[in-house]
Amino acid sequence: MKTLPVGIQVYSLREEASKDFEGTMKKVKELGYDFVELAGLYGIPAVEVKAILDKVGLPCHSAHVAELMGDGDVEKVLDDYVTIGCKYVVVPYLAEGLRPGDENFDQILAKMENVGKMARAKGITLLYHNHDFEFIKMPDGSYGLDYMYNNTAIENLQTELDTCWVNVGGENPAEYVKKYTGRAPVVHLKDFEGSKSAQMYELIGIKSEKKEEVKNTFKFRPVGYGKQDFPSILEAAVAAGASYVVVEQDQWYDTPALECAKMSREYLKTLGW
């Protein structure tokens, strides 16, 4: 079976990277990852980030860039990621009020497409990384996530499907990846246990006003240690024409983050990846 390069989203190692970026990148390389997907630069100039990654031998093909939908200098932000060598920049999250189903969402979508045009002019491609809130039904009957891609040009916005959140959203991750054949160049591999909860976003630092009486059972797990069917997801990624897969674990518990990253990589190796 054909395989793809395996990267890790540095958000999974954010505490380590913030303390020692170069040292953490060396450890990522030692674990057998082929590349990294950044989530911030930790106050390090882009040219220095590039130099560190080159020294370690670890390219950065994609990056989560929250500033893309902000009010700052998007051209400057994009230039930084061109300097680093990214092929893809990713809108990682939409705050409440800016999501499918919210008032004026079409304006948000138009802004995203404009950012995609700016990125394309610099030789990079804009992706969108979903959670589960995009699986709300829109007035036309489609999911919010599908609405986004149905109403933007493929050259301006492609998808980075997070397979955990697709599952939490109620859909089959492998089938959803295949649905976006030709438009899903990067696929997120994320595992979990338990079920959807009002408190689960608190696990990634988003506070919830809703409180449940039942105990929250949702937990992120290393790849291969939860409920996801990764053989089918990986097969789908290849079939859909993806170029890369990225391991991400938003939170860890009793097991240190680097050990979780090792567990994920070792599991994928057992599948021939």
Q: How many domains does the chain have?
A: 1
Quick: pLDDT tens for 2-16. Answer: 999 999 999 999 999
Show the tokens assigned to 177: 């990846």
| 215 is a domain residue | no
* In-domain check, residue 216: no
Quick: pLDDT tens for 109-139.
Answer: 999 999 999 999 999 999 999 999 999 999 9
Residue numbers of the domain that contains 233 = 6-193+221-270
Locus of tokens 């991400």: 248
CATH number at residue 103: 3.20.20.150
Is 201 part of a structural domain of the chain? Answer: no
Strand duo 191-193 + 219-221: pairing = antiparallel
Residue 19 lies in a domain: yes
Is residue 207, in this structure, part of any structural domain at all?
no
Amino acid at the residue 251: Q
* Cβ atoms < 10 Å from Cβ of 15: 11
Buried residues in 119-134 as b, exposed as e (16+ CB within 10 A): beeeebbbbbbbbbbb
Identify the H or E element spanning 97: none
Q: Which residues of the chain have pLDDT under 70?
A: 197-216
In whole angstroms, give the CA distance from residue 72 to residue 60: 23
Determine how β-strand 191-193 pairs with β-strand 6-9.
unpaired
Residues 6+ apart with CB under 8 A from 225: 191, 263, 267
Instruction: Report yes or no on 261 lying in a domain.
Output: yes
Chain centre to alpha carbon of residue 223 = 14
